[in-house]
């Protein structure tokens, strides 16, 4: 028997979520920090897709960026340094029906978490991964990170960084099974949202590098690109993102780039001036690891409790003479 119209309306109302349904607490990021822009874009994305908060998970490691799960009224897991990806993979493998986002900083992902990052791309699990790249360790007060530019003076490199910065885009595009790589900047909110939305809709691991400003430790690092719109190259394509007339009027340096073209994607990934913004590469045909190795067992609460009890029993010291 079909549901009554009134019941259908009530169900529709109950299942609809407003922006406020995803907001939680007051952020502790510095005024002007790019993390604020990323949080806003993510909350807009959740509202647009009407994601169920109890079926949505944000996983992070350690760093300024990794506080994002605290400000999302969803499930969250604030992990340890560099380990956000394996935690997220475990969540997705055991509960593939959940929507899983990952937030990491440049040190968190590209230094201590580098091996996990490479293999996560290879596994291509259905995760939306955001690299908050401000090119410095912010939470621990200004140490050079793998993406810090050569010559940068910091607490760990007082005479200037000796090495060229690691490029997260070229690294990601060099890993087997890569399926989605994009780059955005925090000061163009419309494009930031559009790319994150496309990343979410992609079936597979979507790796989005977000160049963001750090007003506390590197307040002027990105000013040349912020203040001169011609130094930002917008990538557009019918299989990528479309650029609105209002954005195109300001950011006139553009390129129609087919994201299926890996060779051109790698060339663009190496460019730093103008900085490329948009989807560099996308391949929807790469299989997801959780689909290849999915456990058909239904993980009911009783099933999970039984597994926990069985593990606990291995370490239980039973009173003498008591049967177990």
169: tokens are 């885009």
The CA distances from residue 8 to 1, 2, 3, 48, 143, in Å, are 13, 10, 6, 21, 55
**pLDDT score, position 55:** 97
On whether the CB atoms of residues 69 and 103 are closer than 8 A, the answer is: yes
pLDDT on residue 4: 63
Determine the pLDDT at residue 313.
86
For domain 16-287, give its CATH number from 3.60.15.10, 3.40.605.10, 2.60.120.280, 3.40.50.970: 3.40.50.970
Low-confidence ranges of the chain (pLDDT < 50): 1, 9-10, 12
Residue 2 is predicted with a pLDDT of: 55
Is the separation of the CB atoms in 109 and 82 below 8 Å?
yes
- Asked whether 290 and 93 are in contact (CB, 8 A), the reply is yes
pLDDT of residue 301: 81
pLDDT in the model for residue 302: 86
Lookup: tokens for 296: 């058909």
Q: Phi and psi for 280 in degrees, rounded to 5?
A: -85, -40
Domain boundaries, the chain: 16-287
Q: What pLDDT, on the 0 to 100 scale, is given for residue 1?
A: 46
Give pLDDT, residue 300. Answer: 77
* Three-state SS letters, 95-159: CCCCEEEEEEEHHHHHHHCHHHHHHHHHHCCCCEEEEEECCCECCCCCECCCCCCCCCCCCCCCC
How many Cβ atoms are within 10 Å of 319's Cβ, its own excluded?
6
How much is the pTM? 0.89
Phi-psi region of 87 (alpha: psi -120 to 50; beta: other; left: phi over 0): alpha
């Amino acid at each position: 028997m079909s549901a009554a119209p009134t019941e259908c309306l009530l169900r529709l109302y109950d299942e609809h979520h407003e922006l406020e349904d995803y907001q939680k607490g007051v952020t502790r990021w510095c005024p002007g920090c790019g993390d604020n822009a990323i949080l806003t874009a993510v909350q807009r994305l959740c509202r647009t897709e009407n994601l169920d908060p109890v079926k949505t998970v944000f996983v992070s490691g350690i760093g300024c960026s990794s506080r994002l799960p605290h400000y999302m009224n969803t499930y969250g897991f604030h992990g340890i340094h560099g380990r956000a990806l394996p935690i997220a993979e475990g969540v997705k493998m055991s509960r593939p029906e959940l929507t899983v986002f990952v937030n990491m900083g440049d040190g968190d992902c590209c230094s201590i978490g580098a091996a996990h990052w490479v293999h996560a791309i290879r596994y291509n699990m259905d995760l939306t991964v955001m690299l908050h790249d401000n090119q410095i360790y912010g939470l621990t007060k200004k140490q050079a990170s793998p993406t810090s530019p050569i010559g940068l003076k910091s607490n760990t490199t007082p005479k200037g960084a000796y090495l060229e910065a690691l490029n997260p885009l070229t690294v990601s595009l060099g890993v087997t099974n890569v399926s989605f790589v994009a780059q955005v900047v925090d000061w163009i909110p419309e494009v930031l949202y559009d790319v994150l939305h496309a990343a979410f809709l992609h079936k597979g691991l979507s790796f989005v590098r977000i160049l963001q400003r750090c007003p506390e430790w590197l307040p002027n690092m990105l000013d040349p690109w912020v203040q001169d719109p011609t130094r930002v190259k917008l990538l557009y394509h019918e299989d990528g993102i479309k650029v609105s007339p209002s954005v195109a009027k300001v950011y006139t340096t553009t390129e129609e780039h087919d994201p299926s073209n890996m060779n051109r994607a790698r060339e663009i990934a190496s460019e730093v001036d103008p900085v490329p913004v948009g989807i560099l590469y996308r391949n929807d045909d790469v299989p997801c690891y959780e689909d290849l190795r999915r456990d058909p067992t239904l993980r009911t609460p009783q099933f999970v409790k039984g597994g926990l009890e069985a593990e606990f029993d291995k370490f239980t010291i039973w009173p003498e003479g008591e049967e177990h």
